[in-house]
């Protein structure tokens, strides 16, 4: 027997011959994967649902920068809403249980929401760079410019994820046969070129942009701290407890939270990239079990963002505590009024 034996006849033509050499996976792996996806789905939809509800219904949080946060939560919510339930069903049946077209749509939606999430986080990073590094000389984001960026991200993502429907690569069942994704095993260069070009525009370019943005953010924060320490020495005081110092503290928190968020994103999407590149370059044999980790880590990204923003966003925590007291661990919201997603913007506007 092979891992392909349980595949429904109507989708056998989509399965690459590479998978015929592997025996069926231990049912325990399917059970563990199904349980993990179920838990991730519940946590992600609850967390991102709270983020969308709180940010959309709290006046103090309805800022242009936070529109990007809401868009991020929206894409993460629907990532698990569309990916989670079908995969749980497939893990129960230990193979892809739906039609061939459903496989293609499943893979397209996963790619679409993943691409939107990645580029929305890139837009958030660039907005922070614009506010913190450029300071008062930066052009502040407006609601219209934020909406334009969001529309651009969705349009860009749709173009890339619809391309396989028109012959540039294709969507096929993955090795564990419980999920579908891009075809990274077909040898022709038309198929391979999609993986390489897509990886550049949806992995490397966002990653390099984010690294560039946060590198200069940290440099700006470090330079500001050095200036404040030097000023404190001239005044013969231990530290300066001014509003500017408070702003520096908010910026440091912002940079730390953003770096944590991007690090988690990097850990989520890198395994999938490694699997795709391994198939494209035939660097090593890919087993059905290996494809499980790519799917799991990629989908886990939809869980990280609401947790990070919920922990680090004081105004969000305050609104969450007010709306859902049982979900908040907040002790005192009055001591910190800076928003991670828009605090630097607000403080800069106050100084102006």
Neighbours of 104 (CB within 10 A): 18
What is the model's pTM? 0.84
Position with higher pLDDT, 186 vs 330? 186
**What is the rounded CA–CA span in Å between residue 181 and residue 162?**
13
Q: How does 299-327 read in b/e, with b if 16+ C-beta sit within 10 Å?
A: bbbbbbbbebbbebbbbbbbbbbeeeeee
- pLDDT digit string (tens) for 5-31? 888 899 999 999 999 989 988 899 999
Distances (CA, A) of 207 to 118, 119, 263: 9, 10, 10
> What pLDDT band is residue 187 in, cutting at 50, 70 and 90?
confident
* Higher-scoring residue by pLDDT: 120, 348: 120
**Segment (H or E) for 183:** none
pLDDT for 348 equals 39
Going by pLDDT thresholds of 50, 70 and 90, the confidence category of residue 171 is very high
For residue 256 the two structure tokens come to 């730390």
Yes or no: say if 52 and 62 are a contact pair by the CB < 8 Å rule: no
Q: What's the confidence (pLDDT) of residue 334?
A: 39
pLDDT of 203 above 60: yes
DSSP annotation string for 304-351: HHHHHHHHH-HHHHHHHHHH-GGG---S-STT----TTTHHHHHHHHH
User: Residue 150: pLDDT band by 50, 70, 90 thresholds?
Assistant: very high
pLDDT of residue 312: 67
Domains and CATH numbers, the chain: 24-351 (1.20.1070.10)
What does the mean pLDDT of the chain come to? 82
Spatial neighbors of 42 by CB under 8 A, at least 6 apart, are none
């Amino acid at each position: 027997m092979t891992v392909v034996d349980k595949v429904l006849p109507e989708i056998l033509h989509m399965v690459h011959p590479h998978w015929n050499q592997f025996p069926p996976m231990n049912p325990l792996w399917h059970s563990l994967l199904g349980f993990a996806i179920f838990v991730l789905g519940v946590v992600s939809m609850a967390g991102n649902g709270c983020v969308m509800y709180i940010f959309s219904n709290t006046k103090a949080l309805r800022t242009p920068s936070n529109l990007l946060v809401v868009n991020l939560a929206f894409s993460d919510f629907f990532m698990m809403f569309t990916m989670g339930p079908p995969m749980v069903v497939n893990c129960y049946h230990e193979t892809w249980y739906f039609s061939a077209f459903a496989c293609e749509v499943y893979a397209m939606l996963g790619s679409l929401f993943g691409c939107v999430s990645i580029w929305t986080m890139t837009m958030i990073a660039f907005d922070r760079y614009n506010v913190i590094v450029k300071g008062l000389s930066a052009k502040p984001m407006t609601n219209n410019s934020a909406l334009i960026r969001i529309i651009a991200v969705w349009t860009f993502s749709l173009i890339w994820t619809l391309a396989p429907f028109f012959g540039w690569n294709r969507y096929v069942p993955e090795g564990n046969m419980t999920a579908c994704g891009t075809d990274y095993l077909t040898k022709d260069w038309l198929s391979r070129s999609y993986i390489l070009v897509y990886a550049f525009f949806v992995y490397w370019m966002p990653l390099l942009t984010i690294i560039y943005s946060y590198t200069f953010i940290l440099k700006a924060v470090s330079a500001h701290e050095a200036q404040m320490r030097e000023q404190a020495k001239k005044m013969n005081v231990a530290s300066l407890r001014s509003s500017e110092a408070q702003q520096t503290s908010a910026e440091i928190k912002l940079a730390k939270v953003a770096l944590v968020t991007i690090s988690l994103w990097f850990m989520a999407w890198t395994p999938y990239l490694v699997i795709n590149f391994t198939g494209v370059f035939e660097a090593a044999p890919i087993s059905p079990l290996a494809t499980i980790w790519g799917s799991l880590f990629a989908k886990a990204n939809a869980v990280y963002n609401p947790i990070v923003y919920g922990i680090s966003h004081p105004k969000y925590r305050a609104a969450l505590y007010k709306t859902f007291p049982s979900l908040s661990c907040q002790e005192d919201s009055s001591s910190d009024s800076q928003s991670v997603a828009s605090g630097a913007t607000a403080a800069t506007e106050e100084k102006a």
